Amino acid sequence: MAKALKPLVIVLLVLGVVSLILGIVLFSERDVLKTRVQKNEQGVVAIAGKLHFEGLNQEQLKKPNEMETPLHQLAVAADNQYEELQSTKKDVENAKAELGKTKTELASTKTELTDAQAKATQAADQIEQKEAEMVQIKGKADQLEQDKTTLQGQIDDLNTKLVKSDEDMRDLQDKLNSCEKALAAAEPEGGQVLVQKGLSGKIVVVNPDWNFVILDIGSDKGLKPNADMMIHREDKLVGKVHVTSVEKNMAIAEILRDWQQQPIREGDSVLF
């Protein structure tokens, strides 16, 4: 019997030693475990705060018979928060998709806007060019209007001079007729005209329509009616005229077409 109890005592002794060792080890880890438990409790409370769950505090977690209900409620709140988070995540994904679509549309709109701005700039340049052309055309129109006014004034002056020339021509024709009559009355017998040789002068007026010229010499130089005078320009013979009327310092002569070599001009010389 004693022999049978001896191994049992040894086992009990070993178990006692193991228990003592475990007790010592657990006692040394007691503070660490207590700190971990406190941190876990603080973490759970912090999580509850993040989830806006006010039905849990750290004191409840220290009472095992009171902590089950608030922990269950915290789990439900976490599930609800998770569902809201998933819903929010979907909303965010949808918003991202919508944002991507909006960005694409915005890029397309930006491209269209850039094209529209380029076209607007081109149109503005064309308008500016057209306006410059219009200003230039207006300037030319104003200049043409001024030229028109100037030309109209010149035309009016020419018309006035033409009217005066017609009146002067009629006066000269009347004088010519009077001179011809006086010449016919004073013409010496035999039709000879006594004019000094070498008498010269200039043609001051030429009227090809009426076929006569006016000379700058007259009776004061010894010129007489019916005298024929040669017309020359420098050393060339131009034609011949027949004096029909003589005043004191001027004379009228008829152009003899048969003798005309070149068109007679004002300034041509006449010589008897």
What's the 3-state SS for the chain?
CHHHHHHHHHHHHHHHHHHHHHHHHHHHHHHHHHHHHHHHHHHHHHHHHHCCCCCCCHHHHCCHHHHHHHHHHHHHHHHHHHHHHHHHHHHHHHHHHHHHHHHHHHHHHHHHHHHHHHHHHHHHHHHHHHHHHHHHHHHHHHHHHHHHHHHHHHHHHHHHHHHHHHHHHHHHHHHHHHHHHHHHHHCCHHHCCCCCCCCEEEEEEEECCCCEEEECCCHHHCCCCCCEEEEEECCEEEEEEEEEEECCCCEEEEEEHHHCCCCCCCCCEEEC
Query: Is 210 within the bounds of a domain?
Result: yes
Query: Is 42 within the bounds of a domain?
Result: yes
Query: Is 220 within the bounds of a domain?
Result: yes
Residue 142 has a pLDDT of: 83
Residue 210 has a pLDDT of: 93
Residue 131 has a pLDDT of: 83
88 has pLDDT over 50: yes
Residues 180 and 147 in one domain: no
Query: Is 8 within the bounds of a domain?
Result: no
- Range among 4-13, 107-116, 198-207 rated most confident: 198-207
Residues 223 and 264 in one domain: yes
Residues 136 and 178 in one domain: no
Query: Is 10 within the bounds of a domain?
Result: no
The mean-pLDDT minimum among 90-99, 159-168, 206-215, 247-256 falls in 159-168
Residues 129 and 180 in one domain: no
Residues 37 and 144 in one domain: yes
Residue 50 has a pLDDT of: 64
Residue 139 has a pLDDT of: 82
Residues 139 and 66 in one domain: yes
Query: Is 7 within the bounds of a domain?
Result: no
Residues 245 and 145 in one domain: no
Secondary structure (3-state) at 37: helix
Domains: count for the chain: 2
Residues 83 and 143 in one domain: yes
CATH code: domain of residue 235: 2.40.10.340
Residue bearing the bigger pLDDT, 247 or 147: 247
182 has pLDDT over 80: no
Query: Is 18 within the bounds of a domain?
Result: no
Query: Is 9 within the bounds of a domain?
Result: no
Residues 37 and 145 in one domain: yes
- What is the band of 129 on the pLDDT scale with cuts at 50, 70, 90? confident
Domain that holds residue 226: 172-184+197-271
Residues 38 and 106 in one domain: yes
**What does the pLDDT average to over 77-89?**
76
27 has pLDDT over 50: yes
Residues 143 and 209 in one domain: no
Residues 146 and 38 in one domain: yes
